[in-house]
Amino acid sequence: MQLPDQLEFSCPVKLLYGRRALEHLPYEFGARNVRRPLLLSDEDAVRENRMRALTDALRASEIELGAVEPPAQGIDLDLVHELAAIYRDRDHDALLVMGGGALMDLAKLVNIVVSTGQDDPAGFGASNGIAQRLKPMALIAPAAASGGEASGHVKADRIELQSIHLMPDLAVIDERTVGAPDQKAVLNAGLTALAFGVEAMLGAKRNPMVDIYAANAVQMAMAALQSAAEMPVALTTRMLTASATVMAGCILAGKAPGKLHRLGTCLAATGRLSFSEALGVLLPAAVTLEAHKHGRVPARLLSALMGLERSSGTPVGQRSLLAATALMSLLNDLYRLTEGRLPRNLRDAGFEPDDLAAVCAAFDETAGDGDQDAAMVMLQQALDGKPNQSGC
Amino acid sequence: MHMPAYFEYGCGVKIVAGHDALEHIPEMLARLGAKRPLIVTDPGVAGAGLVDILTAAIKDRITIGGVEDGVPPDSSIQTVVAIAEAYRRQTCDALIAIGGGSVLDTAKGVNILVSEDSDDLLAFRGSGTVKRPLRPLLAVPTTSGTGSETTLVAVIKDETRHRKMAFASPFLIPDAAVLDSRMTLNLPPVITASTAMDAMTHAIEAYTCLAKNPLSDVGALNAVKLISRHLPQVMATPEDAEGRLALALAATLAGMAFGNSMVGMVHNIGHALGGVCGVPHGSCMAMLLPYGLEYNHHKNGHLTADLLVPLAGADTYARTPPERRADTVIHMIRELNESLHQACEGRYPRFLKEVRNAGGAQAVPRDALPRVVRAALDDAAILFNPEDLDYDDYILVLEHAWDGRPLDRSLIRRGP
């Protein structure tokens, strides 16, 4: 691995994974002087009565849990202020989130308000404007996650923020609270985590610290996606998916998203496929392109995708083709598994060659030199999903 | 991928690494709201000019409140209290610890006292007694070995009770570890070699022992790769700044790995050997590492085999028959020890009988081995070793390590 001349890395998230992980929360809360956390839970958690396991785990402790189930609506500032008022009025000292996606975004905004006293989180600017530590926050991670839960990103109600201080202090993955989502939700979460991991291992900013989370995101997501055919989705698969999405959040941290992420956002904005599906169909092309740009695919990425035994004998020159092929093979399997509902390529999602220019035009205007050309190359390769060893 | 039934992983310290990482300190302190840091270090570090390098890098942009350079090799409560008084007297608002484990432990202790406005350090001993964020603390390691810049623990001697006291809290983790190649550029060859092998052992025991987890695994493998690639280069070309920085990163990675996955018999015996015979920790690790891998081979040989990838590359791994991979790894570590011995002109010991104390006498006489074993039997680091050891097992390992013979695996008693 080529080490960068300068390296900065930070991940404040402590992961508690596995059997009876919730039972470790009282110790972790105690070490952070937390006595009265406010629990925010989503409707899936309520419907599946996941709070029961949490209250059981906290029963013998001195933790006094308050709970709110925010309405399942879009996030607006009124709701943020309403929850912040509850937090203050009931003298809470931490946030505990049972759920993913928008609920975690909501919790991050509430934390900004109760920690800084500023009513308008947007006032902190888009990037790294939050300078202080916020109140302790713990995520009880679900399998049906967006991948951004453990990150330092918030995107809600015209507010877009990035800060390392928005990352949760704790991410708990417990068998009783990962939930029982449908197959599609697990596949979406797995594809997102896989893409975050692959992009981090390919990029110029790769470093051995980020690798810890990236390699695990890839390995866990691959294992989960390859076993997602089982119905109902097995507990092991759901645990792996939840873990992979926490890894994805740690990779993203408080940094700006990468090219693959931004192009996926543009594709999803067309409404023809979801963000996760967009990332999935772009992945083989992203591997080929980055390999062409940087000269090679890291052996660690190939190992994370295929296992050490299968990947170790591959000559350096063939790694990118093998990695892209492994990803295409996965997409083909998922296409068959979902009877065509999960696209293998952009044509499966209804795109034609003439559609690509519009997507490219929408690609982040702040992209660096050459990124828009790279976006078109990726889109063209993703159209039919054929690996191209030359990368262009 | 090995997913244990339960595991934890976390490392809250921010890592800032580079050839001019020190220059980032004023900006980092400003973000933490600090303007007047106290530098804590030891006489060796100060004498080597490392404090001067740091102050030159930052003095134009921040006011240094003072320099306390009297930290002894074993930190003590008395030292901590004295430095805390200096911190208050000089109205400081942050700490910069430059040095190894003892300096950092001292700074952590000072941080407790000045943040909690107390003089009673013992009131905060044990786990979880520090419950709120402390003053900003930056760690600047000057060796590439201990990894203590990543840990939430401080061990400080209570001189009145002749005991070492442990302090543990997430709030003891430094705000940042600043890894700068200038801090290790002039390390003598023996220290470079032994501290790097200390980090190598942290990584290998984290990967091969019982408390491993998938996150610490990746960090451990990356650490092994960086050390195996860069240590020989740095020994041949000590001014290799790229290599020095890579070794510093490897030590931090290894610290993150073993901080989350614990260690095994190499550390267990090494602690005892250090305590009984005064052998430097890094030397203990380097000499004992092949024996730990041999002793545990029947339990974790498949994990030792994986280390062939970071040590020799994926091609060599693929070419080597699976049943020979672990033995090849052990052989490579012995070869590395041999090459370091040569590079240090014999001052880097390969076997216990070669270790000399400051006066040139043999540091580990063969008749000291039973005392080493008795100390090892009381050391908790053995808890996560794959295979058990009783008195006779320890003697078996130590006698082989004393002579420098590969362990006769037919003599190992295999547990269930």
The residue ranking higher by pLDDT, A183 or B82, is: B82
Q: Does residue A386 sit at the B interface (CB-CB below 8 Å)? A: no
The residue ranking higher by pLDDT, B337 or A120, is: B337
Residue A392 has pLDDT above 50, yes or no: no
What is the average per-residue pLDDT within B278-291?
94
Contacts of A31 in chain B (CB under 8 A): 127-128, 131, 169-170
CATH of B14-183, one of 3.40.50.720, 3.40.190.10, 3.40.50.1970, 3.30.1370.160: 3.40.50.1970
| Strand-strand pairing, B66-68 and B37-40 | parallel
> What pLDDT score does A369 carry?
54
What is the average per-residue pLDDT within B188-200?
95
Measured on CA atoms in the order B370, B375, B380, B381, is the torsion positive or negative? negative
Best interface-test mutation with A: which of B207, B212, B215, B229 has the largest number of A CBs within 10 A? B215
Residue B401 contacts residue B368 (beta carbons within 8 Å): no
Residue A347 contacts residue A330 (beta carbons within 8 Å): no
Comparing alpha-carbon positions, the chain A residue that sits nearest to B5 is: A18
Q: Does residue A7 sit at the B interface (CB-CB below 8 Å)? A: yes
CA angle A12-B92-B39, nearest 5°? 75
Give the integer Cα–Cα distance in Å for A313 and A1: 18
- Yes or no, beta carbons of B12 and A215 under 8 Å apart: no
Q: Does residue A133 sit at the B interface (CB-CB below 8 Å)? A: yes
Q: Convert the pLDDT of each residue in A137-186 to its tens digit.
A: 999 999 999 999 999 999 887 888 999 999 999 999 999 999 988 889 99
Residue B404 burial (CB count, 10 A): 15
To the nearest 10°, report the CA torsion of A269, A273, A275, A278: -110
CATH topology of domain A183-384: Dehydroquinate synthase-like, alpha domain (1.20.1090)
Instruction: At A270, list the tokens.
Output: 């067309």
Counted across chains A and B, CB pairs separated by less than 8 A come out at 123
Give the integer Cα–Cα distance in Å for A217 and A196: 8
> What pLDDT score does A221 carry?
97
Q: Convert the pLDDT of each residue in B248-279 to its tens digit.
A: 999 999 999 998 998 999 999 998 998 899 89
Q: What is the mean pLDDT of chain A?
A: 90
State the nearest Cα–Cα gap between A347 and chain B, in angstroms.
35
Comparing alpha-carbon positions, the chain A residue that sits nearest to B312 is: A312
Comparing alpha-carbon positions, the chain A residue that sits nearest to B247 is: A3
Q: Convert the pLDDT of each residue in B58-79 to its tens digit.
A: 988 999 999 999 999 888 999 9
A39-48, A101-110, A226-235, A352-361, range with the lowest pLDDT: A226-235
Residue spans of beta strands (DSSP E) within chain A:
6-18, 37-41, 66-68, 94-98, 137-140, 153-156, 159-162, 170-173
Residue A189 has pLDDT above 90, yes or no: yes
CA angle A271-A273-A274, nearest 5°? 95
Q: Does residue A130 sit at the B interface (CB-CB below 8 Å)? A: no
| Separation in Å, CA B104 to CA B63, B110, B295, B381 | 21, 10, 34, 21
- Yes or no, beta carbons of B225 and A1 under 8 Å apart: yes
pLDDT category at B132 given cuts 50, 70, 90 is: confident
| Separation in Å, CA A166 to CA A9, A113, A122, A162, A216 | 15, 12, 13, 7, 22
What is the average per-residue pLDDT within B183-189?
94
Contacts of A6 in chain B (CB under 8 A): 17-18, 21
> What pLDDT score does A70 carry?
81
State the nearest Cα–Cα gap between B141 and chain A, in angstroms.
16
Nearest C-alpha neighbor of B175 from the set B18, B41, B36, B29: B29
For every residue of B188-257, which 3-state class applies, written as one string?
CHHHHHHHHHHHHHHHHHHHHCCCCCHHHHHHHHHHHHHHHHHHHHHHHCCCCHHHHHHHHHHHHHHHHH
- Yes or no, beta carbons of A30 and B225 under 8 Å apart: no
Comparing alpha-carbon positions, the chain A residue that sits nearest to B181 is: A5
Best interface-test mutation with A: which of B172, B218, B226 has the largest number of A CBs within 10 A? B218
CATH topology of domain B189-411: Dehydroquinate synthase-like, alpha domain (1.20.1090)
Best interface-test mutation with B: which of A8, A205, A211 has the largest number of B CBs within 10 A? A8
Residue B265 contacts residue B290 (beta carbons within 8 Å): no
Best interface-test mutation with B: which of A24, A28, A29, A209 has the largest number of B CBs within 10 A? A209
Residue A389 has pLDDT above 50, yes or no: no
- State what percent of residues in chain A have pLDDT above 70: 96
> What pLDDT score does A390 carry?
46
Residue B28 has pLDDT above 90, yes or no: yes
Residue B137 contacts residue B13 (beta carbons within 8 Å): no
Best interface-test mutation with B: which of A212, A238, A318 has the largest number of B CBs within 10 A? A212
Q: Convert the pLDDT of each residue in B139-169 to its tens digit.
A: 999 988 888 888 888 888 888 877 778 888 8
Give the integer Cα–Cα distance in Å for A100 and B30: 34
Q: What is the mean pLDDT of chain B?
A: 94
Give the integer Cα–Cα distance in Å for B289 and B267: 9
Instruction: List, in order, residues 6 or more apart from B147 with CB less than 8 Å away.
Output: B199, B202, B251, B252, B254, B255, B256, B258, B259
Residue B208 has pLDDT above 80, yes or no: yes
Which of A223-232, B145-154, B232-241 has the highest average model confidence (pLDDT)?
A: B232-241
Residue B288 burial (CB count, 10 A): 24
> What pLDDT score does A298 carry?
86
φ, ψ of residue A160 to 5 degrees: the values are -130, 115
Q: Which amino acid appears at position A361 of this protein?
A: A
Point out the residue among A5, A219, A300 whose CB comes nearest to the CB of B1: A219
A25-29, A68-72, A281-285, B283-287, range with the lowest pLDDT: A68-72
What is the average per-residue pLDDT within A325-330?
93
Instruction: List, in order, residues 6 or more apart from B155 with CB less than 8 Å away.
Output: B75, B105, B164, B165, B166, B167
- Yes or no, beta carbons of A3 and B245 under 8 Å apart: yes
> What pLDDT score does B396 carry?
97
State the nearest Cα–Cα gap between A8 and chain B, in angstroms.
5
Nearest C-alpha neighbor of A252 from the set A304, A307, A210: A210
- Yes or no, beta carbons of B8 and A311 under 8 Å apart: no
Domains of chain A: which residue ranges?
14-173, 183-384
> What pLDDT score does B299 carry?
96
Best interface-test mutation with A: which of B8, B217, B323 has the largest number of A CBs within 10 A? B8
Instruction: At B384, list the tokens.
Output: 């996560």
Residue A367 contacts residue A262 (beta carbons within 8 Å): yes
Nearest C-alpha neighbor of A285 from the set A218, A357, A383: A383
- Yes or no, beta carbons of B314 and A314 under 8 Å apart: yes
Give the integer Cα–Cα distance in Å for A163 and A131: 8
Contacts of B245 in chain A (CB under 8 A): 3
State the nearest Cα–Cα gap between A354 and chain B, in angstroms.
43
A190-194, A232-236, A295-299, B280-284, range with the lowest pLDDT: A295-299
Contacts of A10 in chain B (CB under 8 A): 13-15
Residue A228 has pLDDT above 50, yes or no: yes
CA angle B220-B225-B228, nearest 5°? 120
SS3 A68: strand
Residue A375 burial (CB count, 10 A): 26
Instruction: List, in order, residues 6 or more apart from A247 with CB less than 8 Å away.
Output: A193, A196, A197, A213, A214, A216, A217, A220
Instruction: List, in order, residues 6 or more apart from B359 with CB less than 8 Å away.
Output: none
> What pLDDT score does A367 carry?
62
Contacts of B319 in chain A (CB under 8 A): 313
SS3 A171: strand
Angle (deg, nearest 10), helices B281-295 and B322-343 = 160
- State what percent of residues in chain B have pLDDT above 70: 100
- Yes or no, beta carbons of B314 and A5 under 8 Å apart: no
pLDDT category at B26 given cuts 50, 70, 90 is: very high
A307-316, B137-146, B214-223, range with the lowest pLDDT: A307-316
Nearest C-alpha neighbor of A285 from the set A303, A259, A311: A259
Instruction: List, in order, residues 6 or more apart from A75 with CB less than 8 Å away.
Output: A102, A105, A106, A109, A156, A157
State yes or no: cis peptide before B365, omega within 30 of 0.
no
Strand partners, B153: B168
Comparing alpha-carbon positions, the chain A residue that sits nearest to B128 is: A31
Residue A56 has pLDDT above 60, yes or no: yes
Q: Convert the pLDDT of each residue in B38-55 to its tens digit.
A: 999 999 999 999 999 999
CATH topology of domain A14-173: Rossmann fold (3.40.50)
How far does Cα B296 stand from its chain's mean position? Answer: 22
Residue A192 has pLDDT above 50, yes or no: yes
pLDDT category at A365 given cuts 50, 70, 90 is: low
| Cβ within 8 Å of A, B 94-133 | 127-128, 131-133
Instruction: List, in order, residues 6 or more apart from B50 with CB less than 8 Å away.
Output: B41, B98, B142, B182, B183
> What pLDDT score does A366 carry?
57
| Cβ within 8 Å of B, A 301-360 | 303, 308, 311-314
Domains of chain B: which residue ranges?
14-183, 189-411
- State what percent of residues in chain A have pLDDT above 90: 66
What is the average per-residue pLDDT within B194-220?
96
Residue A391 has pLDDT above 50, yes or no: no
Q: Which amino acid appears at position B142 of this protein?
A: T
Residue B316 contacts residue B298 (beta carbons within 8 Å): no
Q: Convert the pLDDT of each residue in A146-156 to its tens digit.
A: 999 999 999 88
State the nearest Cα–Cα gap between A15 and chain B, in angstroms.
5
Q: Which amino acid appears at position B317 of this protein?
A: Y
Give the integer Cα–Cα distance in Å for A362 and A351: 15
Residue A132 contacts residue A176 (beta carbons within 8 Å): no
Contacts of B233 in chain A (CB under 8 A): none
Whose tokens are 């999960």? That residue is: A342
Whose tokens are 């023809």? That residue is: A272
Comparing alpha-carbon positions, the chain B residue that sits nearest to A13 is: B10
Give the integer Cα–Cα distance in Å for B386 and B297: 9
Instruction: List, in order, residues 6 or more apart from A372 with CB less than 8 Å away.
Output: A360, A363
Q: Does residue B351 sit at the A interface (CB-CB below 8 Å)? A: no
Comparing alpha-carbon positions, the chain B residue that sits nearest to A170 is: B10
